[in-house]
Chain A
Amino acid sequence: MRFERRHIISMKDFTRDEMEYVLDRAAKLEPLARGGRSDLLAGKILALLFYEPSTRTRMSFETAMLRLGGNVLNLGSKEATSIVKGETLADMIRVVSTYSDAIVQRHPSEGSALMAAEFSSVPIINGGDGAGHHPTQTLLDLYTIRKESHLDNLDIAIVGDLKYGRTVHSLTYALSLYGANITLVSPPQLKMPDQIKADLKARGARVRETENLEETLDCIDVLYMTRIQKERFPDPTEYKKVAGAYKITTGHLGNVRDSMIIMHPLPRVYEIDSSVDTSSHARYFEQSFYGVPIRMALLTIVMGVGV
């Protein structure tokens, strides 16, 4: 595998085979993620450099490492703030890469992970670089879809902020390698950029756009909801209107396919009513859990440990 002892920066670094290699390994490790014990990564140290707040990404990496018998080093939020003022990321990476076997990094500037890779002596895993990439999220999304639905001949609707949402851009990129049938559902001001749509089509995806959530619900396998951020709307009443129109409740689920699943990268705000949580369609908490086996898989791969 090409990623052994290598960096993981963007989904665009992955071929379809390589994605599947990661998903297969995650499937093997899933029992350990569910509470097994292992010493696959005993003696290994993962450094977590988070310059921005994160709960799920950071904690699931920690869990993955601990469950595999490894250790973690955390950059505290206080340290992070003092560093933001003085030391460069490049220097930080040069130093921390001498303390650890791999680094997971989240940083607010686009391209920061690629730059870190230039200065690091150990693999960098991008845990989010501003509006750039977040490949481990995409891999866990793919894992969820493959496990709870199917990747081939997939009908998926992706709802919310399709303009700025980095999650959505890399997910649709990955799905285009499977020739997915993608419906993009968003308010007009948050439509997916034309260039990205053109790229998706060029790679074999079918792409349709609509502003209407309800009309798409009954003919899809996966409903992927995302958060619409208030900050995108200068006018608060406009935000309320949009947030209301892209909210899913049990009332919407009457005629959907039995096997349809609902996903969300979390945290959710209004997009999914809590009444949906107990329906047979909800998968967002499972999705969140699958971050652990996916991150286990990636850690073993970049640290060069076979399973």
Chain B
Amino acid sequence: MSAEKELRVRPIRNGTVIDRILAGQAMNVLKILGIKGAYSDVVTMAMNVPSKALGQKDIVKIENRELEEKELDKISLISTGATINIIRDFEVADKYQVELPEIVESMVKCINPNCISNTKEPVTSKFEVKKDPVQLRCIYCENIITENIAEHLL
């Protein structure tokens, strides 16, 4: 199978492969998953892998973990085309593309320091999502985030 050539490190038995990540975003995906220094399971990351469809892509593989809804939503914000491959017993058991949510709540910090969502008030941030390119519009102050969304993730 052609995937053999891509498997530079040992295959995982159970876990998740996040494929077709926008080149350059793999580190941010790790950040979203809370993988910083010490982590008990096998994690592999590949950056700037040649890809027919994308030119280049990043890949992240994590053993023994399936992702939560919120993590998937965050990944969709920084890499709309990423695919999630659930690996069970070395085989791809399920495969789907991340989906941009219409509203993101408590995931992103508003860039406007004077926004009510950035005060001690009991409100969490809430954005409307627009596609192509991804734009987040704060429902409170209407400021729009278009660039470096990864930097504003909560």
Contact = CB atoms under 8 A, between A and B. Distances in A.
B139 A114 contact: yes
A15 interface: no
Given A130-B114, A131-B114, A111 B122 contact: no
A195 to B, nearest CB: 8
B36 interface: no
B108 to A, nearest CB: 15
B82 to A, nearest CB: 29
6 closest A-B pairs by CB = A111-B140, A110-B141, A111-B116, A109-B116, A111-B141, A112-B116
Interface residues of B, number: 17
Nearest to B141: A110
Contacts of A108: 114
B74 to A, nearest CB: 22
Interface string A113-131: 0110010000000000111
Given A111-B115, A111-B117, A132 B141 contact: yes
B17 interface: no
B4 to A, nearest CB: 50
Interface SS of chain A: helix, strand, loop or mixed? mixed
Interface in B94-113: 112
B120 A111 contact: no
B21 to A, nearest CB: 30
A88 interface: yes
28 contacts: A88-B120, A88-B121, A90-B121, A90-B122, A90-B123, A108-B114, A109-B116, A109-B121, A110-B112, A110-B114, A110-B116, A110-B141, A110-B143, A111-B138, A111-B139, A111-B142, A112-B116, A114-B116, A115-B116, A115-B121, A115-B123, A115-B140, A129-B116, A130-B114, A130-B141, A132-B141, A132-B142, A195-B144
A109 B139 CA distance: 13
A240 B93 CA distance: 71
A109 B119 contact: yes
A89 interface: yes
Interface string A125-142: 000011110000000000
A88 B121 CA distance: 6
A118 B139 CA distance: 12
